[in-house]
Structure 1
């Protein structure tokens, strides 16, 4: 223990000049240097360490187009356009495309029997509490037990009546034609550090081209208009199956820009986000409710409640730009050149292995009393190789 402490704290090491006069070793040393330095410089240039980087700032707007026709007992024959099936109105980087729905028409604010649940089924008024609001229910209980059907009684509620029924959505989906709808995505990006701006509508795209093109991975990979059916085919998902209960789909835009090479173009990819867990028996469901209000022939407020199932599209933008920076280059080259010292270490090993007296001459142990005496000073520096 004491020996270890003396070794660590009571010794000081300093390099000693030792010139080895050997053409073989000197040539090996210089060749080693000539090989190491170019490799280091090439590594800096090829790996991009000479470039500064910046993260992306992005804004996205979307526009959906398409027409669908439905014919249901509740509404009859009806045309659906973008104002009907995009709920709510179009957002910037995401939107909800309704593909299926359950209707509850002609609702008015009145009193009616609640839909049967554990909290609403009753046999007498004693089972109903006036003023009780069930979070899973449709209204406020009046305290009366009334007939929901010939065989079931439920608590009466003050609500929009008739109340919504708990039924499975239609299969196939009502808006099955939505697979032929198109999504127009406008994406503006900026790299503030380099004062660089661009958009996914590239300079070579004319107005007529954008109006008629459709994205195709092989034929037209730069077109910003996407057919929904093509998106699902790329993700190997079945649109008609997903349209019944809804889901979540991501449109990913990747910008990898080398501003020195003037290469900066978007790369599009697609992925389903809410993929079913194989360990779960539950089917992914994505829905929301909204209503269309109007006045009936008696002037009373009336609405049609729609429980809409659909696909949420999220546009996700990623990217990074790089551009040469002289200060970054100098710092990285300087840091990597420090590894040239490895050349000295390796040559020392080679010389020490082939010349047994090398270690004795390179490493000397001197007591401080010898330095205080009048003996000649010990030269200090680093080792050099070659014929001088």
Structure 2
């Protein structure tokens, strides 16, 4: 028993098994095999390593965005001249990565709390029975008092009076001067995996350059100052059209960096995308056009609380930071090579299927590829036990008269 265990351990540690191979001289199968291997090789080199950069590890950035608007607007509505600065036309005013620039508005001044008739088309009525007191309609301006105003044929409401009339949107937009406003974007990103921090104010940008530059896709692609009219144009919109009823534009700061080269080559690219605007341009939703919201300025006059209500139409800007950094790493490199080597086995599988099932001499190839053996049972008389003896084929097949060693199949 001890010798059997010793022999078993010796066989396990000091013997090597290798699969048997059959060399098939067949031009068609050989061409198919080489074409598949060539395709796999092209996939590994072209797609995995060159296009997908499978030899590099990747990381996304943690970043922040700061914005600042500059510019002054002028309006003259019914002889009333007004100057609009950044504090008036930017919402919110904290320099966020998402903000709105007002380009058009409807103003309702001197509103105070009281009762007044609704606008025509909202809460229409023919008698007091049509105006149920204490109720309100979603599209109305206040709570109904139960009175039908004969002069307007609308229900009386408790609201901020006079109610806003937003049926007629100013055309052309009141703040067309917004086309000349400028936007300054300051962005910093950090790639934690590689310990790299970058700013869009790269090495070539200093105070002198910023004071005179204006972004241009080819002439000044790194300038962080953008003219609103240029942003709208590059996003595919017409400024006057989008300024009338508002819209939204996405500004993408793209940090795609190869850190295998000098880090100074890691620079941002700016892209502009029209998200939604006027129906005639990119927005297919006709139910709700443009972008607008309301805000009020409250004050007290003669001890009476009043407010000035503005319905603001503007362009919403969303600044989105997109990032991906790559750097050589031995682990993904070995993984990509290993997976590529495994894919080479596809050629063997395909060629075996052709040999064993499609070619006319498939039976001959089966006999060459597979060797069948029988299991013989012998009685061990000395121990009085039955054991199964498995006969294996010698590699050189000299003792097997039926061996295919030396057999050659010639393609005809």
TM-score over 0.5 (shorter chain): yes
What is the CA deviation profile of residues 293-316 of structure 1, one whole-angstrom value per residue up to 9, with x for unaligned ones?
Answer: 2222x2322211111111111112
The answer as to whether partners of 1:247 and 1:286 remain within 8 angstroms in 2 is yes
SS in 1 for 2:276: coil
1:188-215 Cα shifts (integer Å, max 9, x gaps): 2222222222121112211221233110
From 137, 141, 150, the counterpart of 1:138: 141
Which of 266, 269, 273 is equivalent to 1:267?
269
My pick for the range that moved more, 168-177 or 88-97, is 88-97
Verify the 8 A CA contact 1:250 1:271 in the aligned structure 2: yes
Change in CA separation of 1:106 and 1:51 when aligned onto 2, cut-off 3 Å: same
Aligned partner of 1:62 in structure 2 is 67
Deviation track 1:58-84 (CA, whole Å, cap 9, x = no partner) reads 3222211110111113x8111000110
Deviations 1:140-193 (A, max 9, x none): 22233335xxx5233222221111113221000000010000111112222222
Q: List runs of 5+ in structure 1 lacking aligned partners.
A: 1-13, 23-30, 381-388
Q: Does 1:117 align with 2:121?
A: yes
Q: How does 1:166-181 map to 2 (within 5 A)?
A: 166-181=166-181
Q: Deviations over 1:244-284 (max 9, x none)?
A: 11111111121111111233211111111115368665572
Aligned residues: 351
Q: CA deviation at 1:331?
A: 2.4
In 1: Cα distance, 2:97 partner to 2:168 partner: 30
The answer to whether the aligner puts 1:367 opposite 2:371 as a matched pair is no
What is the CA–CA distance in structure 2 between the aligned matches of 1:273 and 1:37, rounded to whole Å?
Answer: 41
**Equivalents in 1 of 2:175, 2:250: separation in Å?**
20
> Matched residues in 2 for 1:45 and 1:227: separation?
40
Please name the residue that 1:255 is paired with. Answer: 255
2:344 equivalent to 1:333: no
1:100 Cα deviation (Å)? 0.4
The separation in 2 between residues aligned to 1:55 and 1:279, in whole angstroms, is 33
Of stretches 322-331 and 360-369 in structure 1, the one that deviates more from structure 2 is 360-369
Alignment partner of 1:81 is 2:88: no
Distance apart, 1:240 and its partner CA: 0.8
Q: Greater RCO between the two (CA within 8 Å, min separation 6)?
A: 1
Distance of 1:250 and 1:306 partners within structure 2: 25
Distance 2:355 2:116 in 1: 100
Note the C-alpha offset of 1:17. 5.8
Give the equivalent residue in structure 2 for 1:27.
none
SS at match of 1:194: coil
State the match for 1:9 in structure 2: none
Contact 1:40–1:337 (Cα < 8 Å) also in 2: no
CA distance in 2, matches of 1:272, 1:257: 25
Q: Which blocks of at least 5 consecutive residues in structure 2 are unaligned?
A: 1-17, 26-33, 379-387, 397-412
When the two chains are superposed, the root-mean-square deviation of aligned CA atoms in Å is 3.7
Report if aligned partners of 1:36, 1:340 keep a CA contact under 8 Å in 2. Answer: no
2: CA distance, partners of 1:308 / 1:88:
13
Q: Which of 285, 293, 297 does residue 298 from structure 2 map onto?
A: 293
For residue 50 of structure 1, report the CA deviation from its aligned partner.
1.2
Q: Which moved more, 1:56-65 or 1:121-130?
A: 121-130
Cα drift, residue 137 of structure 1:
1.5
Counterpart of 2:110 in structure 1 is: 106
The counterpart of 1:312, out of the listed 299, 310, 316, is: 316
